[in-house]
Chain A
Amino acid sequence: EVQLVESGGGLIQPGGALRLSCAASGFAVRSYYIIWVRQAPGGGLEWVSVIYTDGSTYYADSVKGRFTISRDNSKNTLYLQMNSLRADDTAVYYCARGVDNYAAFDYWGQGTLVTVSS
């Protein structure tokens, strides 16, 4: 059974750093492209970052230079390192698995809440 489980969220002060994890089971993270998407309280979905099977990575302009996506194939886990956090980074963060040959995401984690506040 395919599963994605996010962890690492919490309350952090502005300017702080946090690392989110996305543990996968039922498939190999190296074999699929995977994204991070966030959702601010009461808001819509916002794409954050993507990592492809070849290791290439891309970021939304709002997080470029502050966030880094990576994966550990041996642990079958994806990460999102978030630095210089701001209040507007407050959101539930989801990881999701891409569908081969399509720009769509078929399995999602349950999300982890990041709150940036002093």
Chain B
Amino acid sequence: EILLTQSPGTLSLSPGERATLSCRASQSVSINNLAWYQQKPGQAPRLLVYGASSRATGLPDRFSGSGSGTDFTLTISRLEPEDFAVYYCQHYDSSSRYTFGQGTKLEIK
């Protein structure tokens, strides 16, 4: 079973700053199987990035995904007030198992 470890657990930044969120897999994974989501309190998750680097429809271009192998990154170039939320990475493995990371909480400093 492939485990996903996200870091940091909490990231405290100010609007306008750059956010870099990390997702590390316990084994090398296919980029087609790596996605990122944003979740705000009381809301369902929202797809941000799929295939490690493809932005979901309508997603502002300040969001970008990158990485390969075991290390993946979600970058928000200039934080807007609405970007403060919890972010999850997600993977699928050949055992037909879907796995989520434990999440990174992005909070206002």
Contacts and interface: CB of A to CB of B under 8 A. Distances in A.
Contacts of B99: 47
Interface stretch (B17-25, B45-53, B75-83): B45-53
Contact of A106 (B33, B39, B56, B98): B56
Interface string A42-65: 001111001000000010100000
Contacts of B102: 44
Interface in A80-118: 94, 96, 99, 101-106, 108-111
Task: Please classify the interface of chain A as helix (H, G, I), strand (E, B), loop, or mixed, using the class held by over half of its residues.
Answer: strand
Contact of A108 (B44, B57, B98): B44
Contact of B44 (A47, A101, A103, A109): A109
A35 interface: yes
- Measured as residues with beta carbon below 8 angstroms from the partner, the interface class of chain B is 20 to 34
Contacts of A35: 98
Contacts of B33: 102-103
12 contacts: A44-B100, A45-B37, A45-B88, A47-B100, A94-B44, A102-B33, A102-B51, A102-B54, A103-B35, A105-B47, A106-B50, A108-B44
Interface of A: 35, 37, 44-47, 50, 58, 60, 94, 96, 99, 101-106, 108-111
